[in-house]
């Protein structure tokens, strides 16, 4: 039980990587709150608490963290997983799409860290895990706002790690490669074929493989790890 009794909030938790993290953390004894815009019933394991959370909405963040802290007295770990992708390039990108992607992928992480860090400071302990992407470190054509937002998470993570390291708070980023999720299943098959074809292992990853990496970062086993970039991509970025 590597997370026994730890109070955790996972965003974007209703499917894909988020749901995989919820399930894995629950298996290891965490007290898990699963945040999503849909907050679907019947999806989460027994004992997991679903909460409605649009990460781009500051007010919903305040409500969610207040709910958790009032119920449990603290929050030990935040996994900023919620994210969206739009495949516009710079020249054909709309302001609406840009702001939507940045609002979820970047603003949402800022709001989340801002809300939980004061509670972690009181406990002199905490782990924040920001889910970035291989496309926060390398580019493909299009997806300009997605690249910008996921790249920003790298430095947002490192800054928070250094700023709060003396207060027992660890902040790390995770960079998944191509993962088989409802999000990737719904996008253009040509994109999927391209990325899998560029992956040395020749296959998609699974949400559980990402969750296993997050489990390590959330646990006390990673007590000397902060500001790190954990790449889980089947060798994509090694090329």
Token match 């990460």: residue? Answer: 55
Each residue's pLDDT tens digit, 39-69: 887 899 999 999 999 999 999 999 999 999 9
Taking the C-alpha atoms of residue 133 and residue 35, their distance in angstroms, rounded to an integer, is 20
According to the 3-state scheme, what is the secondary structure of 1-61? CCCCCCEEEECCCCCHHHHHHHHHHHHCCCEEEEEECCCCCCCCCCCCEEEECCCCCHHHH
pTM of the model: 0.97
Domains of the chain plus CATH, in order, are 7-177+211-233 (3.40.50.720)
Report the candidate in 100, 91, 222, 27 with the shortest Cα–Cα distance to residue 19.
27
CB 81 within 8 A of CB 13: yes
CB 185 within 8 A of CB 157: no
Each residue's pLDDT tens digit, 196-238: 999 999 999 999 999 999 999 999 999 999 999 999 999 999 9
Positions marked active-site: 146
Taking the C-alpha atoms of residue 5 and residue 8, their distance in angstroms, rounded to an integer, is 9
Each residue's pLDDT tens digit, 163-201: 999 999 999 999 999 999 988 888 889 889 999 999 999
Taking the C-alpha atoms of residue 45 and residue 42, their distance in angstroms, rounded to an integer, is 8
Give the C-alpha distances (Å, rounded to integers) separating 210 from 16, 129, 200, 213. 10, 12, 17, 5
């Amino acid at each position: 039980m590597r997370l026994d009794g730890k109070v955790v909030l996972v965003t974007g938790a209703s499917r894909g990587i988020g749901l995989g993290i919820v399930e894995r953390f629950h298996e290891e004894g965490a007290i898990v709150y699963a945040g999503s815009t849909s907050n679907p019933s019947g999806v989460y394991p027994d004992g997991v608490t679903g909460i409605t959370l649009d990460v781009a909405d500051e007010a919903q963040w305040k409500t969610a963290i207040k709910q958790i802290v009032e119920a449990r007295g603290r929050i030990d770990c935040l996994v900023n997983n919620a994210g969206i992708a739009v495949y516009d390039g710079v020249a054909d990108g709309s302001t609406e799409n840009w702001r939507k992607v940045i609002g979820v992928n970047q603003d949402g992480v800022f709001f989340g860290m801002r809300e939980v860090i004061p509670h972690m400071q009181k406990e002199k302990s905490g782990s924040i895990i920001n889910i970035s992407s291989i496309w926060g470190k390398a580019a493909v054509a299009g997806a300009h706002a997605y690249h910008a937002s996921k790249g920003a998470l790298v430095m947002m993570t490192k800054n928070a790690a250094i700023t709060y390291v003396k207060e027992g708070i660890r902040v790390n980023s995770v960079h998944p490669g191509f993962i088989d999720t409802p999000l990737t299943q719904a996008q253009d098959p040509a994109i999927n074929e391209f990325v899998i074809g560029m992956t040395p292992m020749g296959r998609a990853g699974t949400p559980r493989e990402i969750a296993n990496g997050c489990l390590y970062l959330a646990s006390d086993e990673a007590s000397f790890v902060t500001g790190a970039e954990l790449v889980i991509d089947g060798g994509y970025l090694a090329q």
